[in-house]
A and B are shown apart, each in its own frame.
Chain A
């Protein structure tokens, strides 16, 4: 097992895939993200990000979610090795 680079959803490149490690936020944020399918262990793919710290779009299972930049910065991911 190689060491995979860790980053946050906000700083992933478009098209990169990764696994959620942790949500570094309070109860409210964790609960809301969880309810929409973002939990530790989930595999996600970055679909797009807007300019000027705009929202980022990711794919989780069958759904696409748009997440504000600030929230996206709190979702830690481990990138899939290429």
Chain B
């Protein structure tokens, strides 16, 4: 346990070998993760918990941490050595509990250049529990900590009031810590500059534009030079052989290869499990997912995101959130699931509802975006801009409306801003790998299952039936051909696949825009639906879904009228 952003997850990862997402901002971890550590002959279960400043929680993530404490047999209290005084308050609270504690003085490497000197022996003596200096990111001191775990103690400390606790912390600090003055480093100067309106706001605009350009450049290059050539030159001939082997038709052929488009395989239109089913996740979406998470990971580890939160706080308050809600929102641009989960770092229920609803309606995930860029981008970049512009306007307007209508209050911003740190290549790589693996594990089975189901439903003419039923809405209001109904229905499984289906319908550019926007807003995909239900409870989820359907139909009809 420990304060937010002291390196608990890095620590956990070092102890157990279990990979967890590590970033440089408070609130990266919102759930607990279990792992195992070999202690002599025994295997000990180690649990990584979200950070908390005190044992009286103020957010859902902090609740998770304090709940876990009840089940533990021993606490490794991870303390940020560069912020000893504040961190020791939680240590004091832990010592008052009847549970053995060992203290890890983490971020030890930073104390030297910050001019902080801590007398570890003395601290150990005053606390009555072992204290080990560590650097979790590099692994320094971890061995010593593990060998001393059995020394963890629960000194006889009676329950104290807050003031008594702070007084005790003050006495300890006086005896163990000396701070010498030193000058700002360039990273600190940059850190201060980026939370000032000037040059902070121009810097933010620059970062945003650069990020977009890098993501597009990496995504397009990977598609143009790697994934498309691989699919077209290697995979397509192989699949043509299989197609011939299966007799160029029949049920099995339809499922595996799909339809041949003028005698050839078309990776968007054929819609077989081995053709489109592989091309969408690997060929079209993966390059952008990779590019997005690479850039996001860099910004996370640098410590930039909380600064964006400060810059945007005033605007976000108008939309019923405070600035820190930008972190779940940005995560949602990768995948809505972690985005909605990350709303746990927010303090009030109202705010969590607003942010989660806005994410599932107006924040397109990377998979959807990749398909929209691929498909709509082919018609001209201004069409892509219309899709993004519309979603952004929806985000703002819906936020304004929710802010006025949802009961309760949204608290003010109160966050810690981490120092800038140069990202470690190893942590970046591990994080990228975990996120990509997560994407593939989720996307591939669902895309394949989806294609299987679609082929069967087509064969049984079920879509025809649904299309007749939905035609007034789909054709009348949205101006889409009735066949688009199938795509909208499949959007429930996966949005990238659904956009792919729109691509097979030879729609006009305007219809593609309407279809993409409606798909992005309409009903969440099944994975986000499940998380939404869990985080907002049934009632909140139903309300959110209602808003989604209504908003998507209104916006879709408006777009259809305007374009």
Contact = CB atoms under 8 A, between A and B. Distances in A.
B397 to A, nearest CB: 20
Contacts of A61: 83, 85-86
Main secondary structure of the interface of A (DSSP, over half): mixed
A64 interface: yes
Interface stretch (A1-9, A16-24, A68-76): A68-76
Contact of B58 (A32, A39, A60, A70): A32
A82 to B, nearest CB: 18
A54 B312 CA distance: 9
Interface in B26-69: 53-54, 56, 58
Contacts of A50: 197, 310-311, 313-314
Contact of B417 (A33, A66, A69, A70): A66
Contact of B414 (A47, A62, A67): A67
B196 interface: yes
Contact of A48 (B80, B116, B200): B200
Interface string A22-66: 000000000111111101000000011011111101001111111
Given A14-B196, A37-B86, A66-B414, A54 B314 contact: yes
A47 B80 CA distance: 22
Contacts of A39: 166
B83 A57 contact: no
Contact of B309 (A48, A64, A66): A66
Contact of B54 (A35, A47, A68, A70): A35
Contacts of A70: 412
B413 A36 contact: no
* Interface residue tally on B, bucketed by range: 35 or more
A31 B58 CA distance: 10
Given A34-B166, A51-B197, A71 B86 contact: no
Contacts of B298: none
B416 interface: yes
Contacts of A51: 197, 314
A66 B415 contact: yes
A80 B83 CA distance: 23
Interface in B317-338: 322-323
A68 B413 contact: yes
Contacts of A14: 196
B474 to A, nearest CB: 44
Contacts of A47: 192, 195-196
A32 B414 contact: yes
Given A37-B83, A62-B83, A62-B116, A57 B310 contact: yes
20 contacts: A14-B196, A33-B414, A35-B89, A37-B83, A48-B197, A52-B314, A55-B412, A60-B86, A62-B80, A62-B82, A62-B116, A63-B86, A63-B417, A64-B195, A64-B416, A64-B419, A66-B323, A68-B411, A68-B413, A68-B414
Interface of B: 53-54, 56, 58, 80, 82-83, 85-86, 89, 114, 116, 162, 166, 191-192, 195-197, 200, 306, 309-311, 313-314, 322-323, 411-417, 419
